[in-house]
Chains A and B, each alone.
Chain A
Amino acid sequence: MGDAVTASASLGATPGPEGAAAPVLAISGVSMRFGAVQVLFDIDFDLRAGEVHALIGENGAGKSTTMKILAGYQPPSGGQVLLDGAPVDFAGSQQAEAAGVVMIHQEFNLAQQLTVEENIFLGRELRRGPFLDHRRMQAESRALLERLNCAVDPRAAVSDISVPNRQMVEIAKALGREARVLIMDEPTAVLTTRETEILLEQIDRLRAAGTAILYTSHKLDEVARIADRVTVLRDGRHVLTAPASDLSTDRMAEVMVGRELSDLFPPKPLPGDETVLKVEGITIPGLIHDAGFTLRRGEVLGFAGLVGAGRTELMEAIVGLRHAAGRVEIKGQQLAGGSVRAARQAGLVYLTEDRKEKGLLLGKDLTQNLTLLALDRFTNLLIDRQAEAAALDRAITEFDIRAGDRGMNVGNLSGGNQQKLLLAKTMLAEPDIVIIDEPTRGIDIGTKQQIYAFIAALAAAGKSVIVVSSELPEVIGLSNRVAVMAEGRIAGVLEGDEINEQTIVRLAIGMAGSEARAS
């Protein structure tokens, strides 16, 4: 209602003394079961004004459910939700929002066709008489976005702005709603390092203004940087709550996984000499300019670059998902453009970064997802359902997919298991060359390690792998060579000792291109 810009600042008067502040929002003894499956056991968790409390755990540890209970999306099966010390029973997220508890989802809750301003003020539009007061809403939206150092025009449609900017709009929307408690579900999963830094600064500012913040991320260095306290969940149970200053990131990872983590990356297998993929002169006007590279048998080629550098677009062009000029050769044979099917038949497959929208049918069961890409291998006029079931058995064992029930919808699997299923689906096509885009986005560290081991095993078995990733340690830890993209061009291809963070970042932001190429 009131002046949104100053609202949360005025709340700065309320927090009590540092550290001893009473919890604004808490859950006590909360358990949660879905049918026969219990996902939370007797969880205590609290959020204090002026504090960032990180909630970490592997996929499926119960973080999402805990957050949803706190934000009023789900009533707990047992236990209490306490607001300012008094039990509440949120009848839904709207009621929680009215009480100042706002959750920012990993998948954005923005109306794509509406403008930024309309989204920020959705449901609480400012009026002048019977009409909308666009001018004031725009001004306030602009002010909110400025606080986030986000230069998006409030009049732009959400569908036209970049993914990181959408994240900022989500946060601006929450700020505009005078949030006392902000629940952030992996806000940095889609942000670059620089954007993450801006977000973390903003979180600092909100904390100083007295907002209670729940923060989740798989990136433990961020957690160490921003959190005051850390709570770890494992398998639906509370394991630890401690001041962040007492925990190293290694310790956090160990507590999350429940065992000591050996080296995250397996040793790199040596590639062969034979060139299996040769890409020349790929150009998509405005996106990719004259990109070319080669890939050898048994090689892992990393692709690094900032978000928006064109890595995904280049890969989509290579496998025929986008129309582009240029030439793709697989084992000396030119690949017909524009056909995913032709690429797959030539042994080249692409595993998308967007597993929920492009990778898996969330409303279908495991089997139908697993065999969709390679359905022809199971079809002889009719689909051989026994062979499909056998393939699912194998995939579940080989990729360690943990599903409660084989008939369950894939949308109900945790992110890590979805990713493993997507890998299994891709490998079912028996490719020689696999392009994996963001292999571990939104995935816990234990599953990451499994996926890294899998990629190394693929290369060792003579397959060739392209790993596109925004996580530099991943690219560095897995790749024999690293191609760095900047603004639609391949800025350089690094080998051996050149593969280090500094060189990659310099290339990615468009510095020192010639220097690296000179080698």
Chain B
Amino acid sequence: MTKTATSPATRASPTVNLHVLGPVLALLLLIALGAWLNPNFLSYGNVTNVLARSAFIGIIAVGMTFVITAGGIDLSVGAMAAFVAGLMILAMNSLIPIMGVGIPVILAGMAVAMVAGFIAGWLNGFLVAKVGIEAFIVTLGSMGIYRSLVTWIADGGTLSLNFDLRTLYRPVYYDGILGVAWPIIVFAAVAILGEILMRRTAFGRHCAAIGANEQVARYSAVNVDRVRIATFVLLGMLVGLATIMYVPRLGSASGSTGVLWELEAIAAVIIGGTVLKGGFGRVWGTVIGVLILSLIGNILNLASLVSPYLNGTIQGVIVILAVVLQREKKAAGAR
């Protein structure tokens, strides 16, 4: 349709720059809009609140970036987070009689979360890579399984962490260093490490190669199965990490914990410019995507311009817009 579709040389033209800068511009625009609508928007309290809340999705979305870049998808992360949270609470509560209320119990709970995330991610990855079932199907299945398992271990209600332990654990969400909350610090660390992993290591390069063309990767001596499993394991462990940050916030888990997280994470990845079909991913873009999504909700809450109930509508429009932009980039890059 457009002239760019037939002209490879226009790749280097401003179209691409817009593609790279698009998400950043959108984020800056949102910040300006928020500041203009409500003076409290840029206050320390609000910024901390927005960033800390987006940390869970953000940590998961960084892992999702790798899975999607390698040509996969994981729909189970929200349910997995709920299940891991349930297991973690259950484990900590049952350890109190043995170990007493104290930091060791919390550390044990954290270990449970990481191990559970590892196993859950590995299972997804194994079924995708070794058994050869499509990632969409595998994780659609595991999503249902984890969701029902957490409902079952909570007996349809809510699993609550022991009250004394909760008091002890609370600072992990609410405190921080130098006024920066822990979830924000962890999210930032994950994002920076993720960006390095994606851009500067063989693993990141291999993820992109597999997503771009699995055959080429195989013929280039890339261990495709192992890399693919590793992306799911990485994501599972990041789900575990997100859960560790999430549990102290409410101190409970139920069948409705983490509902729709998978979609928010995937949306953030796509808004950030990672190609849904795989082959190209950028972690910093995902971080921007997460911030865009959570800022929209925040601005709607602060400004009474549009009903906050329309949050989902606006987020949806943004996701679709991001994909349209992506497609134009692809057309321009076509042979």
Contacts and interface: CB of A to CB of B under 8 A. Distances in A.
Interface in B189-212: 196, 200-202, 205-206, 208-209, 212
Interface string B19-58: 0000000000000000000000000000000000000000
Nearest to A92: B1
20 contacts: A36-B9, A73-B6, A340-B218, A340-B219, A352-B219, A358-B218, A358-B219, A359-B219, A361-B216, A362-B213, A363-B279, A364-B209, A372-B209, A372-B220, A375-B202, A381-B201, A383-B202, A404-B9, A409-B333, A412-B8
B17 to A, nearest CB: 13
Nearest to A34: B9
B12 A405 contact: yes
B307 interface: no
Nearest to A351: B219
A363 to B, nearest CB: 6
Most buried by A among B196, B208, B219: B219
Contact of A34 (B8, B200, B206): B8
Contacts of A74: 6
Nearest to B335: A411
Contacts of B212: 361, 363-364
A379 B202 contact: yes
Q: Which of B9, B208, B222, B280 is the most central at the interface, judged by chain A CB atoms within 10 Å of its CB?
A: B9
Nearest to A68: B6
Given A364-B208, A375-B205, A412-B335, A35 B9 contact: yes
B313 interface: no
A237 B280 CA distance: 37
Interface string A355-380: 00111111110001000110110010
Given A37-B9, A372-B205, A381-B201, A358 B215 contact: yes
Contacts of B94: none
Contacts of B217: 372
A409 B216 contact: no
A73 B335 CA distance: 12
A167 to B, nearest CB: 21
Scoring B201, B220, B222, B335 by chain A CB atoms within 10 A of each residue's CB, the highest score goes to B220
A37 B212 CA distance: 27
Nearest to A409: B333
Interface string A388-418: 0000000000000000110111011000000
Which 10 A-B pairs rank lowest in CB-CB distance, beginning with the nearest?
A35-B9, A34-B9, A340-B221, A382-B200, A373-B220, A372-B220, A341-B221, A379-B202, A358-B215, A361-B212
A159 B325 CA distance: 33
A448 interface: no
B11 interface: yes
Contacts of A385: 200
Contacts of A364: 208-209, 212, 279
A321 interface: yes
Nearest to A33: B9
A52 to B, nearest CB: 27
A385 B201 CA distance: 10
Contacts of B209: 361, 364, 368, 372
Nearest to B275: A363
A188 B305 CA distance: 66
B298 to A, nearest CB: 36
Contact of B221 (A373, A381, A409, A412): A373
A23 to B, nearest CB: 25
A368 B211 CA distance: 14
Interface in A261-288: none
A363 B219 CA distance: 17
B201 A383 contact: yes
Contacts of B9: 33-37, 404
A45 interface: no
Given A73-B6, A363-B333, A372 B222 contact: yes
Contacts of B206: 375
A424 to B, nearest CB: 13
A405 B206 CA distance: 24
Contacts of A429: 221
> Which of A75, A340, A344, A405 is packed against the most chain B CB atoms within 10 Å?
A340
B196 A382 contact: yes
A381 B213 CA distance: 24
A215 interface: no
A74 B13 CA distance: 19
Contacts of A404: 9
A35 B7 contact: yes
A435 to B, nearest CB: 12
A350 interface: yes
Contacts of A375: 202, 205-206
B10 interface: yes
Interface string A276-308: 000000000000000000000000000000000
A409 B8 contact: yes
Contacts of B208: 364, 368
Nearest to B203: A379
A382 B202 CA distance: 7
Nearest to A355: B216
B223 interface: yes
Q: Which of A350, A361, A405 has the most CB of B within 10 A?
A: A361
A376 B335 contact: no
Given A35-B7, A358-B219, A359-B216, 11 more contacts: A340-B220, A341-B221, A357-B215, A364-B279, A368-B208, A372-B217, A376-B202, A379-B202, A383-B201, A405-B12, A409-B333
A373 B280 CA distance: 18
Interface in B215-273: 215-223
Contacts of A373: 220-221
Interface string A329-356: 0000000000011011000001010000
Contacts of A361: 209, 212-213, 216, 279
Interface centre among B10, B200, B212, B221 (most CB of A within 10 A): B221
A462 to B, nearest CB: 23
Contact of A357 (B201, B213, B222): B213
Contacts of A409: 8, 11, 333, 335
Nearest to B224: A340
B230 to A, nearest CB: 15
Contacts of A363: 212, 279-280, 333
